[in-house]
Amino acid sequence: MCKDAIVFFNKPQGIELEAGKTYRFCTCGRSEDGLFCDDSHEGTSCEPKEFTVDKTKAYQLCRCKSSDNLPFCSGNHSYYADSDVGKKIKF
Ligand code: FES
């Protein structure tokens, strides 16, 4: 997690990812789609997290930016209400 991150959304997003491809996960919550880095983190202490997957299939990616298992959802989005979207992460 990044201490400067903001909650992009309080639900994960299911998306199909391709085996072996390198992705840059957005940890700051400021990117356009809330999933992949578009360099909107500039000026924060956040950096994208590069990752790959072993299997091509749908994954639930974290959009609250508070997962214990980034980039994947760990259920921590349940700590956030709709009113927390766009605000700093709590932990
Ligand atoms: S835009 Fe969020 S980490 Fe780069």
Helix (H, G, I), strand (E, B) or coil at 61: strand
| pLDDT at residue 91 in the model | 78
Choosing from 2, 4, 28 the residue with most ligand 1 atoms within 8 A of its CB, the one to mutate for a pocket test is 28
Q: Where are the alpha helices (DSSP H) in 1-91?
A: none
CA distances from 2 to 17, 30, 65, 72 (A): 23, 12, 8, 15
Low-confidence stretches of the chain (pLDDT < 50) are: none
Residues in the chain: 91
**For residue 71, is the peptide bond before it cis, meaning its omega torsion is within 30 degrees of 0?**
yes
**Distance from the alpha carbon of residue 57 to the mean position of ligand 1, in angstroms:** 23
**Position in ligand 1 atom list of the atom nearest CA 47:** 3
CB distance 37 to ligand 1 below 6 Å = yes
d(CA 67, CA 64): 7
